[in-house]
Structure 1
Amino acid sequence: MDVAFTLYPGMTALDLVGPYEALANQPEVTAHFVAASPDPVRCDAGLVVTPTTTFDEMTAADVIVVPGGSGWVGALDDGAVAAWLRRVHPAATWTTSVCTGALLLARAGILDGRPATTHWAVHEELASLGVEVRADRVVVDGPVITAAGVSAGIDMALTLVGLIWGDERAEFTQLVLEYDPRPPYRAGSPETAPAEVVARARAVLGER
């Protein structure tokens, strides 16, 4: 099973690495890092990832994972990611996104007529692209799965493992990852975070 992890400048590392850890360790999976060119790609916080193939070379994949990140605007403007998604999505078994990666799916026309989720800070932007935006952490609609912000990519990947290989495999994967979130603060969403923290986050994310 070929799983294509989509790379572009300014993506968020955890959007990529969270799903990668859950999916790439499945024995049936061959993981590919695919980008516009073979040059290393820098994430928004500085981590550098080296592609293993390019958009021109990889013409099909069973599963597509599109991370988000502060570089989503540049990726939208560049158009290379969306163009590749239009080519490979029709034959893929699953097409997925994490965080603002949903906006790239929308630009490619993959979310037309579908419900989807994304990072809470860009719900309006996703809605402006004609998408029925939901606040769920993971939304499954046919062969398309979208996840909310950043850490929700792990939830998305575990959901996908369950859909492909069954609940027991997903539970095994969760246990091996020791994915048992018990955060020290209740500030993981705009509904639970203090108002001043939400305001600061909106300002910082707006600048990005």
Structure 2
Amino acid sequence: MTDSNENNAAGKQLTRAGRSRRDVLKLGSAATLGALLGGGALLGRVAPALAQAGSEAALAPNDPLDILIVNYDGGTLLDFAGPSEIFHRLPNTNVRYASLNGGNVTLEFGVVYGKTERLADIEKTDLILVPGGSNLAVPMGPAYQAQIRRLAESAKYVTSVCNGSLVLAATGILNGKRSACHWAFLNKLSEYGAIPVSDRFVEDDHGRFMSGGGVTAGIDFALRVAAKLRGKQAAEFTQLVIEYDPAPPFHSGHPRDARPEILAMVDKELPGASKGLARVPGVR
């Protein structure tokens, strides 16, 4: 019993420490932005100033934005962790997480992500994001599909990262729409009526449909979404705050750059990958 109490106390201390670090980053970011915008801006004044800075944004400065990220067992953490890091820092933006039954979901590699809302309890959202995963059996199920389709049909923006586009496509909402996907699964999109596009970011229908390529493309995707909805300055500010300045040690992140022997290794692990037709559990 003592060990349990000590562990709980340690967990609370860790949570407070994590929040404190994030608060410091936010305050530091606010101070930096205040200097850039003319000095002395307090934290409470940062969001309006940031929102007003992007006149090209699709949303007005004071328009609220509600973002829903769909979670499920077998999902990939980075697919939505990268975008959520960016979305949480945008002004007048609320980010929610939901799964079919609510509560905890067990992601890829056994990572437990908790306290999601129940999809059926959410009436609507402005933007829905469906991340991908190593196993799509759960979100491809009829109950999940029905909830995703319901929310996507009424959403202003329908988005995905990685092979989450396959989940969306299976609902029928991407029929005839251009979409990105992880390169290994890209051409599976056409089997569901979507149009596969081998780009890191793809949009259709004047930006109502936006998608990112595989896993790490979610960060690029989210910055593009941020720029479209909240303006370029808001996106650039967020990019700087999270120090997104990629400099990969190897040029092996896409088949067009990878050495043939590396591509062969992936093909052995995921048969059909080099043709964009790799199979993932849950997808016929």
Q: Does 1:144 align with 2:209?
A: yes
Structure 1: stretches of 5+ with no match in the other structure: none
Secondary structure of the corresponding residue to residue 121 of structure 1: coil
Query: Contact conserved, 1:187 with 1:193, CA < 8 A, in 2?
Result: yes
Structure 2: stretches of 5+ with no match in the other structure: 1-64, 272-278
Counterpart amino acid of 2:113?
V
1:22-41 → structure 2 map (5 Å cutoff) = 22-41=86-105
Pick from 101, 108, 111 the counterpart of residue 174 of structure 2.
111
| Alpha-carbon distance, 1:93 to partner | 1.5
Query: Contact conserved, 1:98 with 1:150, CA < 8 A, in 2?
Result: yes
* Equivalence for 1:42: 106
What CA RMSD, in Å, does the superposition of the two structures yield over aligned residues? Answer: 1.5
Once superposed, which parts of structure 1, at least 4 consecutive aligned residues long, lie more than 3 Å away? Answer: 205-208
1:1-208 → structure 2 map (5 Å cutoff) = 1-76=65-140, 78-142=141-205, 143-206=208-271
Query: Contact conserved, 2:178 with 2:197, CA < 8 A, in 1?
Result: yes
Q: Distance in 2 between matches of 1:4 and 1:75?
A: 15
Quick one: structure 1 residues 124 and 73, their matched pair in 2 at CA, closer, same or farther if it must change by over 3 Å? farther
- Superposed CA deviations along residues 141-169 of structure 1, whole A, max 9, x for unmatched, are 12010110000111111111111111111
Segment of structure 1 superposing worse, 7-16 or 19-28: 19-28
Give 1 or 2 for the bigger CA radius of gyration.
2
Give the fraction of aligned pairs with identical amino acids, expressed as a percent. 36
Q: Distance in 1 between matches of 2:137 and 2:262?
A: 24
| Alpha-carbon distance, 1:130 to partner | 1.9
Q: Distance in 1 between matches of 2:225 and 2:186?
A: 23
TM-score normalised to structure 2 length: 0.70
More helix by share: 2
